Amino acid sequence: MATKTTLTLSSKNYSSWSLRGWLMVKLSGVRFTEVLVEPGDLDARAELLLLSPSILVPCLNHQGSKVWDTLAIGEYLNEIAPNAGLLPANPVHRAHCRSICGEMHSGFSALRSALPMNIKARIEGFKIWSKAQLDIDRIVVIWRECLQTYKGPYLFGDTLTIADAMFAPVVTRFHTYGIMLDPVCQAYSDRIMALPEMQEWIAQAKLEPEDIEELVVEF
């Protein structure tokens, strides 16, 4: 009997890393069962507040292999489901994809702290801190370069990759805080938001009753 594949997740409203891992598994086509860690759990709460390493969520269990850290999950999925195209086939394009995913993985701390993920919220007249604006400007440059180089509609052409999954929570942040984008980047953002997988995640996020006070920005 095959071992059941599971993906451990936390809040769908607040957990950007959960969204990234979940979307990667969805795009891979690997069937899985969700295991939810309550956001009130102290360890999960620390991860959501960026106070501890991402160890609990997301965590993929597949055929006895336990894989955590979102980039590791993406690389693993690309190995077990190569036909999904989670990484570009061209080695130069693949290196580019890995580079921007790594940048998203380790950078943009000002954006993370100033614009925490909160899918249910809609903030009018949000004032962007200067450091967060620098992060936004860099993300826009990444998107423009990819869309121009690989001709869209996604960052690396006509197939969704781990890069699109890595930047998907940023798309929700831009939507939540009303960040103005140029037409090309706005069109990309709209395409990501319209994905059936994203609509599924958003619908489930909206059903979450709990609020995490520290992640609700007050104005």
The predicted pLDDT at position 56 comes to 65
- The answer as to whether 130 is a domain residue is yes
Tokens found for residue 201: 């995640």
| Rounded Cα distance, 126 and 163, in Å | 27
Q: pLDDT per residue over 161-201, tens digit each?
A: 999 999 999 999 999 999 999 999 999 999 999 999 999 99
DSSP state of 63: T
> Looking at residue 76, which CATH number applies to its domain?
3.40.30.10
Same domain, 112 and 192: yes
Look at residue 208 in the predicted model and tell me its pLDDT: 87
Q: In angstroms, rounded to a whole number, what is the distance separating the alpha carbons of residues 96 and 39?
A: 34
Percent of the chain with pLDDT over 90: 75
Which two three-digit tokens encode residue 126?
């949000």
Higher pLDDT, 149 or 44: 149
Average pLDDT over residues 11-23: 93
Return the higher-pLDDT residue of 36 and 184.
Answer: 184
Q: Are residues 193 and 98 in the same domain?
A: yes
Kindly state whether residues 198 and 100 are assigned to the same domain.
yes
Based on C-alpha coordinates, what's the Rg of the chain?
Answer: 17
User: Residues near 68 by Cβ (< 8 Å), separated by ≥ 6?
Assistant: 54, 55, 56, 58, 59, 60
Mean pLDDT calculated for residue range 207-212:
72
Tens-place pLDDT, residues 130-146: 999 999 999 999 999 99
Sheet strands side by side (includes 33-36): 33-36, 6-9, 59-62, 65-68
pLDDT tens-digit profile of 68-102? Answer: 899 999 999 999 999 999 999 999 999 999 999 99
- Same domain assignment for residues 79 and 151: no
Note the Cα 52 to chain centre separation in Å. 18
Domain that holds residue 111: 91-203
Nearest to 206 by CA among 179, 176, 178: 176
**Rounded CA separation 2/39 (Å):** 30
209 is a domain residue: no
